[in-house]
Structure 1
Amino acid sequence: MRQANFGDTVLYDPEELAEVELECQAYVFLRERDVHAISEPAEQPRSGMYL
């Protein structure tokens, strides 16, 4: 299970989203299966391995 938190940067297909605006703030709704990747914070140590 992917765990996304508020403020995370995620990779998703722009055609698979629902957008809504509340109080002049735009929000994007995604299903869990539409999230392709979640970026890691830069302060975590890197293993040196690439995917």
Structure 2
Amino acid sequence: MSSKPHAVDTMHIHEGTGWVTLSEDRKSFGGRYYNGIDSENHGSLKFDKI
């Protein structure tokens, strides 16, 4: 079995990061994320306990 990736040769790794913060009342958390290079994948997220 080959361990070679099956991606197209023109593709490259898109490393990024993200972080979230828990609210003081512990009823929600939210944060931001991004994925670098040329993918321009970025945004924010928020989760509320219901």
| TM-score, normalized by the shorter chain, greater than 0.5 | no
Larger radius of gyration: 2
More helix by share: 1
TM-score, with structure 1 as normaliser: 0.22
TM-score (norm 2): 0.22
Higher relative contact order (CA 8 A, sep 6+): 1
Larger strand proportion, structure 1 or 2? 2
